[in-house]
Amino acid sequence: MRIGITCYPVYGGSGVVATELGKALAARGHNIHFIAYSAPFRLAHVTENISFHEVNVNTYPLFEYPNYSMNLTSKMVDVVKYEELDLLHVHYAIPHATSAVLARQILAGEGVHVPVVTTLHGTDITIVGRDPSYQTVVNYSINQSDGVTAVSDYLRRETYERFDIQREIEVIPNFIDTARFQRLNKSHFKQAVCPNGEKLLIHVSNFRPVKNATQVVDVFHRLRAEDQPVKLILVGDGPDRSAAERKARDLGVYDDVRFLGKQEPIEEILSISDVFIMPSGSETFGLAALEAMACGVPVVASRVGGLPELIEDGDNGFLCPLDDLDCFTDRVRAMLHDADLYERMSVSARRTAEERFDIDRIVPLYEEYYERVCSHSSLQLQ
C-alpha cells in the first residue's frame, strides 16, 4: 500500500509510535510518506520506500498565530494526489485528524478518494481534547475518520465517555522492537555511572507536568536518606526539568543524580538501569515503560490509565496509588533488596514485551485494519 503518515515529529510517544510503525511497514514492502513539520526524530534516514514531505508553516504579518493545520491540509492534498496514496494515517487527533478529514473532502471534489485512519494516543483525548475550545472539533474529526484506533482499552473507554462517538474504535496497543530493545552488556558504562556497585534508578519522559518527574527525585531522596546505595538518571527534557533539578539540589541529592537530557539510543541507558520509576498522573499506555521492560528493567508506576494493561502488580513490576510516595519507595526498596524477586520481575517484564507487544505481532494488526478500512470505504463509494 501507499500510506501517508502524519505525526508530531518531536520527542513524544505518538511520534515514536508513528515513526516506528512507518519504518516497520516500509520493511514489509509498503510505500511510506511521512508528512510533518520536520523529519520525525526517530527517522534516522529515508530509504527507497520511505519519503518525507515537510509542511512549511508560513507566517504573514496579519497572522498573529501560524496556520499549521491549513498548511498541513494543503500538503496532504498534494501528497495524496501526486504520490497516489491509498490511505492517510494520522497520529494524535489535534489537528491531524481534522486536517486529514478536510484534505479528504477537498480531494473528493477532485474525484480522488482517500480513507483516513486516526490513531488516538493520549493527551489528545485525556487532557487537550477535553478542553472546550477543542472538544467539538475533536468529536467531529473522530466521527468523520474512516477508521479510528486507540492505544489501550482504557483510552477507548475514555474516548467513548468523554466524547459523543458514533463509531467503532479499534484497540491496537503500542509495540516494541524487542531485537533492538534488549539488555545489552554495557558494564563499562555502568561502572562509570555507579563506581561503587550502586543500583541505578531511571526515569525517562518529556518532563511535562503529567509525568510528575519531581516525585522521582522525592522517592530517590527517601531512599538515599536510608543510606540505600542508589544513583538516579533522568533522561529527557521538558517544562519540569528545572523543577526536578532544583528539588535534587534542595534535598541535597544532586551529586547522586544525573540529568542527561534527550538521548538516543535509549536502550543503552536502560541496559545499565535497575528500576524505572513512572509516577505519571495519567498514561494511556506508557511506551517508555514498555521500552524499559523490554530491556529487563521492571517498572514501579502509578495505577492510572492504561498502565495496568501493561504492568501486572507484583508480577512484572509494581503499581502504586497516584502520589503515594511511601508505596513507590517501599516497592523500589523491595526490588533492590530481594534478588530473587528482582530476577523474577525482570524476566517477566522482558517476557511481557516479547509475548504481547512485539513489533512483529502488532504491526500486522495495523495492516489488517488498513485493509478493512479501505475495503469498507470503497464499498461505501459504490
Binding site for ligand GMT (CB under 6 A): 12-15, 17, 92, 121-123, 126, 151, 174, 206, 208, 210, 282-287
Cβ 109 to ligand GMT shortest distance, Å: 32
Cβ 306 to ligand GMT shortest distance, Å: 7
With 0-12 / 13-18 / 19 or more C-beta atoms within 10 angstroms meaning exposed / middle / buried, residue 109 is exposed
- C-beta closer to ligand GMT: residue 210 or 253: 210
Cβ 216 to ligand GMT shortest distance, Å: 15
Q: Which residues of 246-259 are buried (b: 16+ CB within 10 A; e: fewer)?
A: ebbeebebeebbbb
- Helical H segments across the chain, by residue range: 13-27, 68-82, 96-109, 123-126, 132-144, 153-162, 187-193, 213-225, 241-250, 266-270, 287-294, 325-337, 339-357, 359-381
Cβ 207 to ligand GMT shortest distance, Å: 10
- C-beta closer to ligand GMT: residue 178 or 329: 178
- C-beta closer to ligand GMT: residue 223 or 289: 289
Q: 22, 39, 11, 33: which is closest to 359 by C-alpha?
A: 22
Cβ 346 to ligand GMT shortest distance, Å: 21
- C-beta closer to ligand GMT: residue 4 or 306: 306
Q: Which residue pairs from 243-248 have beta carbons closer than 8 angstroms and sit at least 24 positions apart in sequence?
A: 243/213, 243/214, 244/207, 244/213, 244/214, 244/216, 244/217, 247/214, 247/217, 247/218, 248/217, 248/220, 248/221
- C-beta closer to ligand GMT: residue 12 or 115: 12
C-alpha cell at 337: 533488596
Cβ-proximal residue to ligand GMT, closest one: 13
- C-beta closer to ligand GMT: residue 208 or 356: 208
- C-beta closer to ligand GMT: residue 121 or 231: 121
- C-beta closer to ligand GMT: residue 69 or 74: 69
Residue 313's DSSP bridge partners are 317
Contacts of 323 (CB under 8 A, 6+ apart): 212, 215, 279, 302
Cβ 8 to ligand GMT shortest distance, Å: 6
Contacts of 203 (CB under 8 A, 6+ apart): 213, 216, 232, 233, 234, 235, 276, 277, 278
Cβ 336 to ligand GMT shortest distance, Å: 26
Q: 86, 61, 56: which is closest to 73 by C-alpha?
A: 56
Cβ 343 to ligand GMT shortest distance, Å: 27
